[in-house]
Amino acid sequence: MTTTRKLFLGARLKRLRRDLGLQQSAMATQLGISASYLNHLERNQRPVTAGILLRLAEVFDVNVKAFAAEGNESAGAEHLGEIFSDQMFSDLAISRYELVELADNAPTVAEGVARLYTALRDLQRQTHSGDGDETDPRGLITPETWVRDYIQESSNHFPELEECAETLGVAMADALSIAEPLRRRLKDAWGISCRVVSPALLGESTQQYDPERRVFMLSSLLRSENRTFGLAYQLAMVEFREVIERVVEVAAPPDQGSRHLLHVSLANYAAGAIIMPYGRFLASAEEHNYSIDRLCGEYGANVEQVSHRLTTLSRPGARGVPFFMIRVDAAGNISKRYAGNAFPFSRFGGTCPRWNLHAAFQNAGKAISQVIETPDGQRFFTISRTIERPIRPDVQSDGLLAVGLGCELRYAEKLHCAAGLDLANPPTTPIGPACAICPRMNCPQRATAPAGRALAVDENRKTISPYPFVPA
């Protein structure tokens, strides 16, 4: 006999109400319940029923699966588990039940714990600039970590930028290439001339804007799609400056480094939205069954640009397949990580070596599909392929990166790259998060035993896993 787990989502419900700017009475009226009942729900004195979840979806366009999913918060149970797997907590024996309770009932405290631990991890790399940023404890978190977390908390979707970019992008649509309309807009509306110049003039830069001369320069080493993106980026910087600055002010970055990096990240986001306007791009993606190559050809973009754009399709009432994306180098270092929906990324570690993302480097130029399963039974369809860096300073440098793009298995039937596969009974590869918190026993790629588990090494036998451990 199976027992359905009751959903106590009071903290999430309260946060949603506050984000919407509603009083309890107003939200209760829209949900068709009494204010006292909503109060009980927010205080976890009553579980959230399926009927309430459906009303949340209908009235407030809430993604029910993400809202009800365990570990939905930015510092959910999975992230807390990764934090408390650290050796410094090994004597505490904190159970998963306690982590779920903390994430569900005190999400702000959980986020505080995550920030403190992130600051601790980043502290050795942080250098104080002497400009006063150290007065804000959040400044101990490196800019790239802070910006990455903020974008993920926003579900990698910024409606105000989307609206502006779509209006502009549709107006500049061109049957051959949007590059020329972008160049003309910069020149005619903003007096900015664009030039392709020798890399010797740019030094270590790939593109550079000179505000005094009002000249935007692009390296001749850049490929055509990267030049186009560069033009869109510079146009976003001047055309949407006020919009971007408003988003940055609301985000309240902890230091100047984070502020500048977020500004650049939002301009990059807007550039992709100009080249691939939301409505038209979503229609194309649906028409072509999310074929990356077809989308690259239609929009004059590269694999990375299209993959990133696919993770942003979260407009209420017009959602695409909720993809996640990750970019790594040959050493496994993560340089990009986006998700339009929940995916159990390791927040402080790398990726599982059993995921074919890493095999892409041995199959350069080839798309590798794989169905993966996380320890909690979630299945995802993924496709991995190598991409080339936008620019290579010299022929000896490694020009390859790998991009992994994926979605929940239930969406795979909509994808061109899954055509012909038996999605009802696919071959599945079990993967895990960081080894320090992965519960899988017989993994030949295991690098360490999970935190809090005793090793079960026996001199008289060898096991599949190099670090066997005592199960919980």
Block means of pLDDT (10 residues each) for the chain, length 472 residues? 61 80 88 88 84 88 72 60 73 74 76 75 51 48 83 88 96 90 97 94 92 96 94 97 95 91 96 97 97 95 96 91 90 79 62 85 89 88 90 66 92 92 91 79 82 78 84 73
Q: Given this model, what pLDDT does residue 13 score?
A: 86
Phi/psi at 331 (5° precision): -85, 0
d(CA 214, CA 203): 19
Query: Which phi-psi region, left, alpha or beta, contains residue 290 (left: φ > 0; alpha: ψ -120 to 50)?
Result: left
Q: Give the phi and the psi of residue 65 in degrees, each rounded to 5.
A: -60, -45
CA distance 418 to 427: 13
Would you say 48 and 8 are in contact if contact means Cβ atoms under 8 Å apart? yes
Task: Give pTM, 2 decimals.
Answer: 0.74
Q: Which residue's structure tokens are 């020009």?
A: 399
Q: Kind of pairing, strands 368-373 and 379-388?
A: antiparallel
Distance between CA atoms of residues 313 and 273, nearest Å: 10
Contact, 358 vs 348, CB < 8 A?
A: no
Contact 293, 274 (CB under 8 A): no
Question: Which pLDDT score, from 0 to 100, does residue 211 have?
Answer: 95
Tell me the C-alpha to C-alpha distance, in Å, between residue 256 and each of 55, 118, 228, 287: 41, 18, 28, 43
| Contact in structure between 382 and 290 (CB atoms under 8 Å) | no
Best CA proximity match to 276, nearest among 312, 240, 241: 312
pLDDT of residue 127: 45
Find the farthest-apart pair of alpha carbons in the chain and give their distance in angstroms, rounded. Answer: 78
| d(C-alpha 70, C-alpha 153), whole Å | 15
**199 phi and psi, to 5 degrees?**
-60, -20
Question: According to the model, what pLDDT value does residue 469 have?
Answer: 82
Q: How far does Cα 431 stand from its chain's mean position?
A: 19
Token match 């890493």: residue? 358
| DSSP H stretches of helix in 276-336 | 278-287, 292-299, 303-310
Domains of the chain: 10-68 (1.10.260.40), 142-148+155-275 (1.10.10.2910), 306-440 (3.30.450), 441-472 (no CATH)
Do residues 443 and 455 lie in contact, with contact meaning Cβ atoms separated by under 8 Å? Answer: no
- For 57-94, give the secondary structure using H, E and C: HHHHCCCHHHHHCCCCCCCCHHHHHHHCCCHHHCCCCC
Angle at 239 between CA 238 and CA 241, to 5 degrees: 60
Q: Is the dihedral of CA 201, 224, 281, 340 positive or negative?
A: negative
pLDDT at 43: 78
Q: How many CA atoms lie within 13 A of 115 on its CB side?
A: 16
